[in-house]
Amino acid sequence: MPPNRRFLLMRRPQGTPVPEDFALVTQETPALAPGEFLIRNHYASLDPAMRGWMDAEGNYMPPIPLGAPVRASTIGVIAESRAEGFAPGQWVMGLNALEDYSVGVAGGFTQVIDPAAVPSITNYLSIFGAVGMTAYFGLFEVCEPKPGETVLVSGAAGAVGSLVGQLAKIHGCRAVGIAGGPAKCARLTEKYGFDAAIDYKGKDEAALSEAIAAACPHGVDVIFENVGGIILDAGLMHLNLHARVGLCGLISEYNTAPRGCRNLWQLIVKRAQIRGLLVADYVDRFAEGAAQMGQWAAQGRLTIDEHIDEGLENAFASFMRLFAGTNDGKMILKIA
């Protein structure tokens, strides 16, 4: 078996992760047991949710054990197999880890994917992966926008947010995005078709609130929330009656003690709701979502940017882009 470079979690990050929380080591790959197969990982998805998996308290997934490689969705090619239905040379996608080789097991989370079905194999980590399905089911199933309504998206230049805005437009909604900096804001309106973009940088809650009022003259019917903090609080002040807030993420709070949502009372005033969403709930409908997304993409109505960094040795720096906001699109790490 080939030696395996693995990006291990060595201690639980306190607040913002530092390089010393991790270690890139080379370990032996154990021989395959019956029913197992060896995946040569080519690309890994880097997602904000991975930060939560590094903490001691489990959330919807058990914590990553200390000394284990950092859990991540990857795509790769089967190198060896002792499992029926998984042949060497086949491309697969699954929940594995940041490492050269992962061992998969028949009946587990790994599925065979068809490189000929997509423009780029990496699309399985973006538009046709958890990111695309989060945008699709999160917007349509959790937020239930109606044509003509206003959809406010935070983290709008991110992988999920940029798709949510485009889906809202396809659905006939007004899409308003919040992102950091003029370059990202320009991308929102020019590339993703948002009706308006709000640059949160340098704005306090009052200034954000003013900007939202200006960009949403008819109020906000749906918030697709990826950020939290003052961005969510400012948005809550502009809800219309019976508005829906889909809570997808709270990236502003992952590395710090949360500031706390202070405008919850607006839910009473507007008889509105906040509902948490997790894409795993829609796994049995991924084919439906991917087919619809694929159709829109083929029609040129969906753009997804992928930000691909190279090299397992850059895993830490690439992961941290998500929190600094220095990625331009879905963050992917090319392993081989």
Binding-site member from 249, 297, 315, 331 for a copy of itself (CB under 8 A): 249
> Rounded to whole angstroms, how far apart are CA atoms 286 and 267?
31
CA distance 70 to 54: 8
- The residue among 281 and 305 lying less far from a copy of itself, judged by its C-beta, is 281
In whole angstroms, give the CA distance from residue 308 to residue 293: 21
Q: Are 180 and 199 in contact (CB under 8 A)?
A: yes
Query: Binding of a copy of itself at residue 268 (CB under 8 A)?
Result: yes
Q: Which of 152, 153, 277, 297 binds a copy of itself (CB under 8 A)?
A: 277
Shortest Å distance, C-beta 168 to a copy of itself? 20
Per CB under 8 A, the segment of 114-122, 156-164, 172-180, 260-268 that binds a copy of itself is: 260-268
Least distance to a copy of itself from the beta carbon of 101, Å?
31
CA angle 51–246–283, rounded 5-degree value: 70
Instruction: Please give the DSSP secondary-structure letter assigned to residue 3.
Output: -
Minimal distance, residue 247 CB to a copy of itself, in Å: 5
Question: What is the Cα–Cα distance from 203 to 182, expressed in whole angstroms?
Answer: 13
Q: With contacts defined by CB under 8 A, name the span among 102-110, 163-171, 254-262, 302-310 that binds a copy of itself.
A: 254-262
Strands 150-154 and 36-45: unpaired
Would you say 75 or 251 has its CB closer to a copy of itself?
251
**Under the criterion CB under 8 A, does residue 16 sit at the interface with a copy of itself?**
no
**Does residue 63 belong to the site contacting a copy of itself (CB under 8 A)?**
no
Please tell me whether residue 17 binds a copy of itself under the rule CB under 8 A.
Answer: no
Count CA atoms closer than 13 A to 302's CA, side-chain side. 28
Q: How far is the CB of 181 from a copy of itself (least distance, A)?
A: 26
In whole angstroms, the minimum distance from the beta carbon of 44 to a copy of itself comes to: 22
Q: Which two tokens stand for residue 310?
A: 């190279």
Out of 1, 18, 20, 60, point to the residue binding a copy of itself (CB under 8 A).
60
Please work out the total of residues on this chain that contact a copy of itself, with binding judged by CB under 8 A: 32
Owner of token pair 């065979």 = 112
Any contact of residue 272 with a copy of itself (CB under 8 A)?
yes
Determine, following the binding rule CB under 8 A, whether residue 59 of this chain makes contact with a copy of itself.
Answer: yes
Of positions 13, 219, 276, 294, contacts a copy of itself by CB under 8 A: 276
**Range 160-219, binding a copy of itself (CB under 8 A):** none
Q: Which is nearer to a copy of itself, 59 or 295 (CB)?
A: 59
Q: How far apart (Å, rounded) are the C-alpha atoms in residues 86 and 168?
A: 38
* Nearest distance, CB of residue 248 and a copy of itself, angstroms: 7
Interface with a copy of itself (CB under 8 A), residue from 79, 234, 248, 332: 248
List all residues 6 or more positions away from 59 whose beta carbon is below 8 Å from its beta carbon.
52, 53
Tokens for 150? 């206003």
DSSP-derived 3-state class of residue 198 = strand
Instruction: Report the distance separating Cα 41 and Cα 306, nearest Å.
Output: 18
- Specify whether the CB–CB gap between 312 and 24 falls below 8 A: yes
Q: How far apart are CA 153 and CA 162, in angstroms?
A: 8
Distance of closest approach, residue 39 Cβ to a copy of itself, in angstroms: 28
What region does 75 belong to: left with phi over 0, alpha with psi -120 to 50, or beta? beta
223 binds a copy of itself (CB under 8 A): no
Question: Would you say the C-alpha torsion 141, 143, 146, 151 has a positive or negative sign?
Answer: negative
Least distance CB 117 / a copy of itself (angstroms): 30
Residue 261 C-beta: closest distance to a copy of itself, Å = 5
Query: Where on the chain is the footprint of a copy of itself (CB under 8 A)?
Result: 52, 59-60, 228, 247-250, 253, 257-278, 281
